[in-house]
Amino acid sequence: MAIEFQCNGCAKRLRVPDESAGKKARCPDCGMIQDVPSGMSEPTSAFSDPKPIGGAPLPSDQTNPFAEPRPASSNPYQTPAYDAPATTHFGMPQAIDFAAMEKVRGPATALIVFAVLGMVMVGVQILLIVVGAANEGDPDVVFELIGGGIGGLISI
C-alpha cells in the first residue's frame, strides 16, 4: 500500500511507496523537498482542525506577548538571547503565492521588455538629434541638445 500525503508547497496530493517512509521526496509540480511521513499515521479528515506546519510548539512563556521579561544576565556585555519567530503556517499560503507568481510572470516580463525598448528608442532619438545638430556646424546647439538629452534621460 502506498503512502499518500500533501505537498507543503503546492498542496498537491503525493503518493509514494511504503519503502519511502521517513525519507525525503520531491514534489513533481513545485520541486519542494519534504519528509515522507511514516505509513502508521492515521489519515486526517477534511473537516479536522488545521494543524500548524513547522517546528515544535513554542514554550508557554513565549506565546504570551505580555509575559515577564527574561532575567538579565550577570554579564552586561553579553549579547541578548535571540527569540526565533514562530514558523507555523495554517492552510496553504505558499501554494497561493506560487500561483500568483505564475500569473504575474508573463505581464511583468512584457513590461520590462517594453520599458527597455522605450529607453533605447529615446536614446537613439537623442543621438540622431545631436548628430544632426553637429552636422549643421553650430557647437552651442550640440551642447544644449546633449544637456537636454541627459535631462530627458534622468527624468525618465
**Per-residue pLDDT reduced to its tens digit, 111-153:** 999 999 998 888 888 788 777 777 777 667 767 777 777 777 7
CA distances from 1 to 62, 140, 156 (A): 42, 85, 63
Q: What is the DSSP string of 105-153?
A: HHHHHHHHHHHHHHHHHHHHHHHHHHHHHHHHT-HHHHHHHHHHHHHHH
% of the chain exceeding 70 in pLDDT: 64
With a threshold of 0.75, does the pTM exceed it?
no
Contacts of 107 (CB under 8 A, 6+ apart): none
Query: Using only C-alpha atoms, what is the Rg of the chain?
Result: 30
At residue 61 the predicted structure's pLDDT band, cuts being 50, 70 and 90, is: very low
